[in-house]
């Protein structure tokens, strides 16, 4: 099973392996540790599957719309090393429960949803549940 969830939500046994797919665990200054995120918030960090700093900057600072962000992020994870990591993650989710984590409260406009859906596109037998 492949779940998605905000990293700020409480840890639950049903989460399985909690994997952060965030580019950083800091406040907006990029330096100060987020007070609600620590090493107990996640089991692994797959930073490679986070959107690039360039894409995040365009989305939050320049005002890329969600549609453009989604297109660009999917292009990022469908190429090269990121594609290989998506495939590994998809295969792994068939063997153990995994929860993809990001800071957004809702999966609707969060790359963790796009990543989970890309895993399911690669292996359609994957069941994705957004929490």
What is the DSSP code string of 24-89?
Answer: -SB-TTSSSBPTT--TTS-SEE-GGGSPPHHHHHIIIII---HHHHHHHHHHHHTSHHHHHHHHHH
**Mean pLDDT of all residues in 93-113:** 97
- Overall pTM > 0.85: yes
pLDDT of 61:
79
Q: pLDDT-based confidence at 3, cuts 50/70/90?
A: very high
Domain count, the chain: 1
Distance CA 70, CA 58 (A): 12
Mean pLDDT rounded to a whole number for the chain = 94
Q: What is the pLDDT of residues 40-82, one digit of tens each?
A: 999 999 999 999 989 988 887 787 899 999 999 999 999 999 9
d(CA 80, CA 59): 23
Q: Could you list the residue range(s) of the whole structural domain that residue 119 is in?
A: 2-130
Q: What is the pLDDT of residue 31?
A: 82
Q: How far apart are CA 50 and CA 42, in angstroms?
A: 15
Whole-number pLDDT of residue 62: 80
């Amino acid at each position: 099973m492949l779940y998605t969830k905000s990293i700020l939500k409480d840890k639950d046994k049903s989460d399985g392996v909690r994997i952060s797919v965030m580019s950083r665990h800091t406040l907006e200054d990029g330096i100060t540790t987020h007070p609600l995120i620590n090493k107990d918030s996640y089991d692994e960090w797959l930073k490679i599957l986070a959107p690039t700093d360039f894409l995040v900057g365009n989305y939050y600072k320049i005002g890329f719309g969600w549609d453009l962000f989604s297109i660009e992020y999917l292009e990022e994870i469908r190429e090269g090393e990121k594609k290989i990591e998506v495939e590994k993650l998809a295969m792994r989710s068939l063997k153990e429960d995994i929860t993809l984590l990001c800071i957004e409260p809702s999966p609707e406009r969060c790359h963790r949803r796009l990543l989970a859906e890309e895993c399911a596109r690669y292996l359609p037998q994957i069941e994705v549940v957004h929490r």
